[in-house]
Amino acid sequence: MSRDRRWLLPLLCAAGAACGGPFPQSSLRPRSDFAGAIDRLFTDIFWWAVLVFILVEGLLLFIIVRYRYREGAPTPKPTHGHTLLEIAWTLAPALILVFIAVPTMRTIFATQTDSPAGALRVEVVAHQWWWEYRYPELGVVTANELHLPAGRTVALALTSADVIHSFWAPGLGGKRDVIPGRTNRLVLRPDSVDTLLGQCAEFCGASHANMRLRVMVEAEPAFQAWVGRQQAGAASVVKGSLAEQGQQAFRRYGCVGCHTMGTMSTAIIGPNLTHLGSRMTIAGGLFPNDSVHLTRWIADPPGEKPGSIMPNMHVPAGDLAALIAYLRTMR
C-alpha cells in the first residue's frame, strides 16, 4: 500500500462508525404526522439531489477521462459559447427547482394549520434554562417533561419568559422559535407510544446546552392516569418523619419564594415542584431524578448548571437530607 493511501482505511473506519449508533434525537425517526410530512419531503428532495449528483459527477468524470491530456495530441480548438447548451443547463435546474417547490409548498400549507376542535392545548413557556408546560383545560402545570397522548391532535402555544429560545423535539417535528411577547404555534398528532428527547435549539445563554426536554407520548389511558395524579394535591407527609422536617426546611430556606408546592406556596419563578418525585429528571432535564443528583443540585446549583439563577443556600447536611426526603415524596 502506498504511503499516500495509508490514511484511507482509518478514514473509512471512522466514517463507518459515524453511521451507527442510536441517535436518540434523530429527525429521521418521525413520531408524529408533522414529522412524517417533513420526512417525506426530505426523502423526495434527497432523491432529486441524488439524480443531480449522478448526472453532474458522471459528466465530469466522462469529460476528465475523454478529454484528458495525451502526449503528442494536437491542442483542441476552443469553443466560445453554445446557445443550446446554455439554455439546457439553465432550464434543467429551474425545472428541478419547480419539482421541489411544489411538494415543499404543499407540505408547508399542510403543516401550518389551525388546531381542530378537541385538540389538547398545551402552553409551552421557555425559561433560562428549563421548560414549563401548562395544560389550561386540565388545570395541570409541570416542568421539563411534556406528556402527550398518542393518536390525539395536540396544539402547542409557545412563548418565552426571558430571551429567545427554540423548541425542538426532532421526533415530533420541526423547530419553533420561542420569543418573548409572542406566541408561536405547533399543531401535530403523535402517532406512537415513545419517549422522545429534545432540547433548546437557539443559543440562549451560559447553559443553553443544558436546556433539555423530554416528551412522554403515552396511550390515552396512561395519559389520563397521569393527568389524574397531577390534578391531585401535594402528597401529605407523615408526622414526625424526615420528610416533615424537610417540609419545614423547604419553608425555612426560602424555597417557597420561587417554587410552587401544592397550596403551601404558589411562587412561579422556578419550576412547579408539587409532583417533582414523579419526574424522571431534574435541573431542566440535565440529571436523573435520584437522591444523589438531587443532593448535588441543591447543594450547588450554579456549580452544576452555569448561570443558574437558583443560588447556593448553604443548607447544612442534616437539613439537606431532610429536604431530599421531602422532595422525593412529592409524587
pLDDT of residue 24: 78
Q: What's the average model confidence in pLDDT over 85-112?
A: 90
How distant is the alpha carbon of residue 284 from its chain centre? 12
CB 294 within 8 A of CB 284: no
8 A C-beta contact, residue 300 and residue 311: no
**Is residue 170 exposed (0-12), middle (13-18) or buried (19+ Cβ within 10 Å)?**
buried
Amino acid at 262: G
- Reported as a pLDDT band with limits 50, 70 and 90, residue 252 is confident
Output 166 or 66, whichever has higher pLDDT.
Answer: 166
pLDDT, average across residues 61-82: 83
Q: Degrees (nearest 5) of the Cα angle 185, 186, 190? A: 155
Q: What is the pLDDT of residue 18?
A: 67
C-alpha cell at 189: 398528532
> What pLDDT sits at residue 66?
86
CATH of range 242-329; options 3.40.50.300, 2.40.50.140, 3.40.50.620, 2.60.40.420: 2.60.40.420
Four-CA torsion 230, 233, 238, 241, nearest 10 degrees: 70
| 190 DSSP β-pair partners | 32
Domain 27-69+81-112, what fold?
A: Helix Hairpins (1.10.287)
What pLDDT, on a 0 to 100 scale, did the predictor assign at position 2? 57
CATH 1.10.287.90 range(s) for the chain read 27-69+81-112
Look at residue 75 in the predicted model and tell me its pLDDT: 80
Query: Among the listed ranges 41-50, 68-77, 102-111, 213-222, which one has the minimum average pLDDT value?
Result: 68-77
pLDDT in tens, 153-184: 999 999 999 999 999 999 998 789 999 999 99
Neighbours of 47 (CB within 10 A): 9
Reduced to 3 states, what is the DSSP secondary structure of residue 167?
strand
pLDDT tens digits, one per residue of 259-283 = 888 877 787 888 888 888 889 999 8
Query: Is a pLDDT exceeding 80 seen at residue 17?
Result: no
CB neighbours (10 Å) of residue 201? 18
List where CATH 2.60.40.420 sits in the chain. 120-231, 242-329
What's the pLDDT at 3? Answer: 60
Contact 163, 205 (CB under 8 A): yes
Whether residue 149 contacts residue 161, with contact meaning beta carbons closer than 8 Å, is answered with: no
Residue bearing the bigger pLDDT, 97 or 72: 97
Residue percentage of the chain with pLDDT more than 90: 50
Q: What is the pLDDT of residues 197-251, one digit of tens each?
A: 999 999 999 999 999 999 999 999 999 999 999 998 888 888 889 988 888 888 8
CATH superfamily of 120-231: Cupredoxins -  blue copper proteins (2.60.40.420)
* Whole-number Å distance between alpha carbons of 104 and 41: 7
Residue 7 in grid coordinates: 490514511
Length of the chain measured in residues: 331
Question: For 126-143, what is the mean pLDDT?
Answer: 94
Confidence at residue 124, expressed as pLDDT on a 0 to 100 scale: 96
Instruction: Tell whether the model's pLDDT for residue 195 goes beyond 90.
Output: yes
pLDDT band at 7 (very low <50, low <70, confident <90, very high): confident
pLDDT of 253 over the 80 cut:
yes
State the pLDDT at residue 11: 78
Residue with cell 389551525: 114
